[in-house]
Amino acid sequence: MKLQPTLHRAWPVAAGLASFAVATALLFGHSTPSIPGFFWMLAKGAFGDGYAISETLVKATPTLWCALAVAVPAQLGLISVGAEGQMYAGAIAGGALVLFGPRESAWVLIPAMLACGAAGGAAWGAIAGWLRARFGITEIVVTMLQNFIAINVLEYLIHGPWMAPNSGNWPQTADFPAAVTLPPIVSGMRTHVGLFGGVAAALVLWFAVRRTKWGLAVRVLTGNPRVASQAGLSHFAYIVGAMAIGGALAGLGGICEASAIQGRLESTFLQGYGLSGYLVSWLAGHDFRWIVPISILMGAILTSADTLQLGAGLPASSAMILQGVLFACIVGWTSFAKRIR
């Protein structure tokens, strides 16, 4: 008897994954000699050896932060599609401190850089929250437009005032000082402590939603707005707050990536993570516990898409198609299962 509810939840996901596999094979199978070999290549690209696993985790880290940035507003029923812009905002704010701030020791600089990154992302997210709470403008459109704005601001900076003098007109900033590079988890690999930060943040958020008065307030606000207003809960404050916290998380992800992986700011270095993050958060049902493992799976998909690019000569956009198709398959089957139940 106990199995049945699990089965009810599991079969749509299984069906979704199966359709995903079929769709992938149809789309990309023609470029490889055999279909099983194609999937084997995908798996090997993501988990084949220590380096592949490390790369999977590298890609999972910003995805994880973005997914958290989506899941926090989602607790209030808000749909934020702006994690990517918030990441850029965080990276720009943190980068400003590192590039133009005082030279201090790592013990001062790294926390200050992270704080700036979080603040930048939070401010960016709060704008959308404010527009939503004050004017009722849908946050979906605002966050998407903000993505374009953030990307263009970064382009302006790296093509203009922040361009490194010795870069030969290549659009990027000067390298960050070595003191602010986040240390790797295993030396020699690119996986960095930002991953631990993301996992810790997920645990804290899970606790906050389940066990604190804020979590309770959020449930009251979404469950019964009338009770919420009688209890004196401010919708305005919670909407702006949730968007700001989400933004801060994405901003942290952005500055972590800039510091640990790129070591500078450059063009479109965070491209695609906003979408992956949204997808992960949605697949996890905006549940903070599930976000961590699903982010790692998403990291695997992204890494194996890179392998495809090298191995089968497929363009980088394959990753986006893969994600969109995966999303559509799982959305379709889970909703269908709900409908026929």
Partner 1 sequence: MAFALCGEILGERAGIVNIGIEGQMLAGAAAGFGVAVSTGNPWLGLLAGAAAGMTLSLVHGVLCLVCRANQIVSGIAVLAIGAGCSSYFGSPYVGRQVSGFAPLSVPGMPAAVAGVLRSVSPTMVIGIIVPLAFGAALYTTRWGLRWRAVGESPSAARVLGINPTHYRWAAILLGGLLSGIGGAALSVDYAKGWSEGMTAGRGLVALGLVVMTRWNPLFTTPVAMIFGAAESLSLSAQSWGINVSPYLLSLFPYMAPLIVLALHARFSRRRGQMPASLADILTIGT
Does 79 sit near partner 1 (CB under 8 A)?
yes
Q: How far is the CB of 117 from partner 1 (least distance, A)?
A: 21
Query: Collapsing DSSP states into helix, strand and coil, what is residue 184?
Result: strand
Q: Helix or strand or coil: residue 333?
A: helix
170 is a contact residue toward partner 1 (CB under 8 A)? no
Out of 37, 50, 77, 293, name the contact with partner 1 by CB under 8 A. 77
Residue 204 touches partner 1, criterion: CB under 8 A: no
Which residue of 162, 282, 288, 290 would you call a contact of partner 1, by CB under 8 A?
282
Contact partners, residue 150, CB within 8 Å, separation at least 6: 84, 85, 86, 88, 89, 92, 124
Q: Distance between CA 227 and CA 74 in Å, rounded?
A: 20
Q: By CB under 8 A, is residue 278 in contact with partner 1? A: yes
Report in angstroms how near the CB of residue 111 gets to partner 1 at its nearest.
Answer: 31
DSSP string, 269-321: TTTTHHHHHHHHHHHTTT-HHHHHHHHHHHHHHHHHHHHHHHHT---THHHHH
Nearest-CA neighbor of 93 among 261, 248, 198, 275?
Answer: 248
Question: Scanning residues 223 to 262, which ones bind partner 1 (CB under 8 A)?
Answer: 225, 235, 239
The yes or no reply on residue 267 touching partner 1 (CB under 8 A) is no
Among residues 56 and 276, whose Cβ is nearest to partner 1? 276
266 binds partner 1, rule: CB under 8 A: no
Residue type at 236 in one-letter notation = F
Instruction: Work out the widest C-alpha separation in the chain, in whole angstroms.
Output: 68
CB of 177: closest distance to partner 1 in angstroms? 26
Q: Is residue 37 at the binding interface for partner 1, with CB under 8 A as the rule?
A: no
How many other β-carbons are positioned within 10 Å of the β-carbon of residue 29? 15
Binding mask 292-331 for partner 1 (x = CB under 8 A): ----------------------xx-xxxxxxxxx-xx--x
Residue 180 DSSP code:
G
Nearest approach, Cβ of residue 299 and partner 1 (Å): 17
Report the alpha-carbon distance of residue 42 to residue 32 in Å, rounded. 12
Tell me whether residue 42 or residue 201 sits nearer to partner 1 (CB atom). 42
**CA–CA gap between residue 110 and residue 43 (Å, rounded):** 35
- Shortest CB 163 distance to partner 1, Å: 11
HSE value, Cβ hemisphere, 13 Å, CA-based, for 219:
9
Q: How far is the CB of 109 from partner 1 (least distance, A)?
A: 28
Please give the residue ranges that form the binding site for partner 1 (CB under 8 A).
76-79, 81, 131-133, 135-138, 140-142, 144-145, 148-149, 152-153, 155-156, 159-160, 221-222, 225, 235, 239, 275, 278-279, 282, 314-315, 317-325, 327-328, 331-336, 338-339
